[in-house]
Amino acid sequence: MNENISYNKQLTIDNTSKLRELLTTLPGFCKEYFRAIEPKTSTKTRISYVYDLRVFFQFLIQTNPQFKTYNTTDFKLEDLEQLESVDIEEYLEYLKLYQNQDGKSYTNDERGIHRKLSSLRSFYYYFNRRKLLKTNPSLLVDMPKIHSKEIVRLDYDEVAMLLDLVEHGSPNLTGRKKTYFKQNKLRNLAIFTLLLGTGIRVSECVGLDLNDVDFKNDRIKIIRKGGKEDFVYFGIEVEEALRNYIEVSRTAITPLPGHENALFLSIQKRRMTVRAIENLVSDYASQITTLKHITPHKLRSTYGTTLYRETGDIYLVAEVLGHNDVNTTKKHYAALDEDRKRKAANVVKLRES
């Protein structure tokens, strides 16, 4: 990584390069669509769209005799004119279980199917609106209903147990594991405290540089989805954890070239990756609870839940978590509103007992 380029700019460069490479695996006319949606989408989103559309064209090759001799790049726009709504319905059924070109089986739950149909609708809509396709059969197929899921989060005592484990370690640690624990204790405690104390995304955590931490104003500067710059404020526990890590551990490390500014470094002296933090959270959380699959996103949900319960302000939760639409927040934390409604049942007394 070029040391003069920020992590997020480098990530955009890398994703742009990857997107251009992936587009060569799609029919040529697809490039027109991706150029059109560029101003309103991130490179990460467009990469996801490429993968979704590749699955669609693969479906046509595998299931439609008319296209069985095709490669993905052979499709012409007029081929899509021949498809009807029943083809789209069959595609949704196909998505529940299919094999990719590598022979590996893949499945999609209702959310995965919903996203892939949304991608296909957007794709058809673009060419239909420009009168390059006469029909849009994807609009004749109902979007799969997404059932709300219970928010998986850590309870208050589980949060305390998790932080105690990160800070003090398991009494069973020996040898290399014990050495690794001591070497990375302050870093790991800073990561867990930051995630649980601010609700930032793991990608936002990974992208933090040393100069993004502002102790004077008790805040960090992060780059949200879509490249928006934002500030998130932290409390005394986060401040102490960050100070201890930066002043004791971080200053003692000489990072590899290109990683000098990174806040959180791996044992290889490189900026930590999203996968590394995901594995770290999974490892520690699994020692606290085996009934919940805890990820960095679940730590974010834990923070959002606590903030909402303490303040009752859904707009504050949406703003702090960086949700562009408060309805997203309302939908996510709807179950907590039900808890509040349930409490009301016993508040009003009709007759004295």
Mean pLDDT by 10 residues, the chain (353 residues): 72 93 97 95 93 96 95 96 96 94 88 95 96 94 84 89 94 86 95 96 95 96 87 96 96 94 95 96 93 92 89 88 81 63 58 61
pLDDT of residue 312: 85
Question: What letters, b where the CB count within 10 A reaches 16 and e where it falls short, cover 75-112?
Answer: beeebbeebeeebbebbbebbeebeeeeeeeeebeeee
Q: What is the DSSP string of 291-338?
A: SS---HHHHHHHHHHHHHHHH--HHHHHHHHT-S-HHHHHHHTHHHHH
Element (H, E) at 90: helix 85-94
pLDDT of residue 324: 80
Q: Which domains does the chain have, with CATH numbers?
A: 7-140 (1.10.150.130), 156-337 (1.10.443.10)
3-state secondary structure of 280: helix
- What are all long-range contacts of 225-228, with beta carbons under 8 Å and residues at least 24 apart? 225/42, 225/201, 225/322, 226/42, 227/8, 227/12, 227/42, 228/322
DSSP secondary structure letter of residue 76: -
Tokens read off for 244: 């201890």
Angle at 239 between CA 238 and CA 241, to 5 degrees: 65
- Which residues, 6 or more positions from 299, have their beta carbon under 8 angstroms from its beta carbon? 154, 192, 195, 196, 199, 281
pLDDT of residue 167: 95
